[in-house]
Structure 1
Amino acid sequence: MRRLLLVPLLVAALTGCSAFGRDEACTQADAESRVSVVWRPADFGGQDAVRIRLCANGTCEERTSGSPGDPVASVSVRLPDDTGAATVPVRLTVTSVATGDKVVEDSARAKLTEQRPNGRSCPPTAWTATYRAQPGKGLTSPEGLKLQS
């Protein structure tokens, strides 16, 4: 009798079904903890007119602004996998490529939010924050950013 009971439970466990009726298959999307900044290249002038530098938690990444014909550009700083629900310091510096002058300089404390791309009970868990870089305003919310010029 024991063998008859163990076999169905073993099959259910191996196929991802539970004895409680929950069948939660996980997808395989990957995710990393990171802080990102997005911008409209047209907001910063001509082709690669500025250099955008983003620093988060002591690590920095940078790139040029891109083509004004592109709707949105971005740069991200990866955070350690074990970051968790932390608040990390963020610094944005936008510098003119032609003159070396600072166009935008701003800082914030980013409260990271939990992301689970494969479902609530499936790994991985990533902690993220996203800002928008805007001339004259610095780091702002990305809400309402239009993907077309």
Structure 2
Amino acid sequence: MRRVLFTLGTAVALTGCSVFGQDTPCTLMDMDSGVSVVWRPADFGGTDAATVRLCVEDRCEERASGDADVPFAGVTVRLPDDIGATTVPVRLKVTEARDGRVVVEDSRRARLSKQQPNGASCPPTVWTATFRAHPAKGLTSPKGLSPR
């Protein structure tokens, strides 16, 4: 009898939450809703040569452009997780750290996309959009962004 209970207990432990009505076990990846912008630090001069400011609606985040030897940098403006599939205004401003000159200024409307990092039947459900900060084109698609 102990062997049967041990076997059943082991089976439940190894199958995760699939025993409780789900086809696949949930992982524990966490994620937040938000709009992100990524860039190549080398595109904006030397190490921390610029400040990148991203605003979504009335929320803003900024950071230094980063180490020119590192392939990518980014900043995210966090949004409420229950924001849903909506469109939000996004503004980007990149200024030179040395003299405050604006080198990139752009705005777009971002349609947030549903993301479920642990699968369709597992939490969390978040809403995201991602752009690339391009030195000549402003906010663009991040597709094709390579470290070169």
The aligned counterpart of 1:23 is 23
Distance in 2 of aligned mates of 1:15 and 1:123: 12
Contact kept, 8 Å, 1:46 with 1:67, in 2: the verdict is: yes
Write out per-residue CA displacement over residues 111-134 of structure 1, whole angstroms, 9 at most, x where no aligned residue: 000000000111100100000001
2:55 match: secondary structure: strand
- In structure 2, C-alpha distance between the alignment counterparts of 1:15 and 1:143, rounded to whole Å: 35
Please name the residue that 1:109 is paired with: 109
Identity in percent: 60
SS of structure 1 residue aligned to 2:38: strand
Q: Normalised by the size of structure 1, how large is the TM-score? A: 0.85
Describe how 1:83-122 pairs up with structure 2 within 5 A. 83-122=83-122
- Aligned counterpart, 2:142: 142
Aligned length, in residue pairs: 136
Indicate if the aligned counterparts of 1:55 and 1:77 stay in contact, CA closer than 8 A.
yes
SS at match of 1:16: helix
Name the aligned partner's letter for residue 16 of structure 1.
S
Query: TM-score scaled by structure 2?
Result: 0.86
Gaps of 5+ in 1: 1-11
Q: How far, CA to CA, are the matches of 2:26 and 2:53 in structure 1?
A: 36
Amino acid at match of 1:120: A
Say whether 1:44 aligns with 2:44.
yes
Q: From the superposition, tell whether residues 40 and 15 of structure 1 become closer, same or farther in structure 2 (CA, over 3 Å).
A: closer
Counterpart residue identity of residue 128, structure 1: T
Aligned equivalents of 1:40 and 1:25: distance in 2? 37
Distance apart, 1:57 and its partner CA: 2.0
Q: CA deviation at 1:25?
A: 1.2
Whether the aligned pair in 2 keeps the contact of 1:93 and 1:106 (CA below 8 Å) is: yes
CA offsets 1:54-102 (integer angstroms, 9 cap, x no match): 0012100000101110000000000011101010110000001111110
Q: Is the 8 A contact 2:17 2:26 kept in 1?
A: no
* 2: CA distance, partners of 1:141 / 1:15: 37
State whether residues 52 and 94 of structure 2, in contact with CA within 8 Å, keep that contact through their aligned partners in structure 1: yes
Structure 2: gaps (5+ residues):
1-11
RMSD: 2.0
Structure 2 counterpart of 1:23, which letter?
D
